[in-house]
């Protein structure tokens, strides 16, 4: 190989990480979005215990390297068992059941662009529920509606010990189409046509045209302020299309 060709090859390889980050995540990859979340001072909302693309769990321990390169594929909220989990937007239930270790009882929702105000379809997955959700495939849900209860299913053993870790793991996929297939031994995997795994905090962005814009946002737009549902079930600000997946309390 000539020195010139070798130089060009090395330059291309060095450029790959930056290009991949600009393009956003693809199947099997994780890239931090740079987004953070904040709530009004008068509200107490369950915070993120482990953010998207974090290399550590809620307890600061390192994640295993054999999944997504050791990076987190969703967000975790530490919750007491039985905490009501809320639909992050209007949509419909498309699948539920019980998976294996690190998955537990799960629920999939599908949200059309008109449900979220975003320019793509969103598929949201709730994991570790305490009991099977009382929703049938095709049943519609409203933003802020309780869709299940938090638990620790699928977390007992190994790192978390016999008691497991009660929390919500929320995963989101974003894509150009509402088409999907249900896959996996337990039916727990939904493969959506052209969809990409990415940060659930993207749900709370406005005025974006595609995922590629997310990582180029200025600092002033990287802190999202989600709509919330109060303990009375009312969504604030009124008319918010997307809400935090757990109710917030007034301080």
Alpha helices in 86-214 (DSSP H): 113-116
pLDDT of residue 29: 74
Measured between alpha carbons, how far is 22 from 221 in angstroms, rounded to an integer?
17
C-alpha closest to that of 119 among 213, 192, 22:
213
**What are the φ/ψ torsions at residue 247 (nearest 5 degrees)?**
-65, 150
Q: What residue ranges define each of the domains in the chain, with the CATH number in brackets? A: 32-250 (2.70.70.10)
The model's pTM: 0.88
pLDDT of residue 21: 32
Residue 12 token pair: 């291309």
C-alpha closest to that of 234 among 221, 249, 213:
249
Write the CA distances from 84 to 4, 9, 58, 103, 233, integer angstroms: 61, 53, 20, 18, 11
**pLDDT tens, the chain, 251 aa long:** 554 444 334 343 333 333 333 333 444 579 999 999 999 999 999 999 999 999 999 999 999 998 889 999 999 999 999 999 999 999 999 999 999 888 999 999 999 999 999 999 999 999 999 999 999 999 999 999 999 999 999 999 989 999 999 999 999 999 999 999 998 877 799 999 999 999 999 999 999 999 999 999 999 999 999 999 998 999 999 999 999 999 999 88
pLDDT of residue 16: 35
pLDDT of residue 28: 56
* CB 199, CB 118: distance < 8 Å: no
């Amino acid at each position: 190989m000539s020195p010139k060709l070798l130089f060009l090859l090395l330059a291309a390889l060095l450029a790959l990480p930056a290009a991949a980050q600009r393009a956003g995540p693809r199947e099997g990859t994780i890239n931090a979005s740079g987004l953070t979340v904040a709530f009004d001072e008068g509200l107490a909302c369950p915070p993120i215990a482990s953010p998207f693309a974090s290399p550590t769990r809620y307890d600061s321990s390192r994640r295993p390297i054999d999944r997504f390169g050791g990076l987190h594929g969703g967000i975790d909220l530490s919750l007491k068992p039985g905490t009501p989990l809320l639909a992050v937007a209007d949509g419909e239930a498309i699948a539920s059941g019980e998976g294996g270790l690190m998955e537990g009882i799960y629920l999939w929702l599908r949200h059309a662009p008109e449900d979220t105000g975003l320019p793509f379809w969103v598929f949201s997955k709730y994991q570790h529920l305490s009991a099977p959700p009382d929703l049938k495939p095709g049943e519609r849900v409203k933003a802020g509606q309780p869709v299940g209860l938090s638990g620790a299913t699928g977390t007992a053993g190994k790192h978390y010990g016999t008691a497991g870790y009660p929390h919500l793991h929320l995963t989101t996929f974003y894509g150009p189409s509402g088409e999907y297939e249900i896959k996996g031994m337990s039916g727990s995997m939904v493969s959506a046509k052209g969809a990409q795994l990415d940060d659930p905090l993207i749900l709370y962005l406005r005025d974006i045209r595609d995922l590629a814009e997310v990582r180029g946002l200025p600092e002033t737009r990287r802190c999202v302020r989600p709509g919330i549902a109060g303990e009375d079930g009312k969504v604030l600000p009124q008319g918010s299309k997307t809400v935090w997946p757990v109710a917030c309390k007034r301080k």
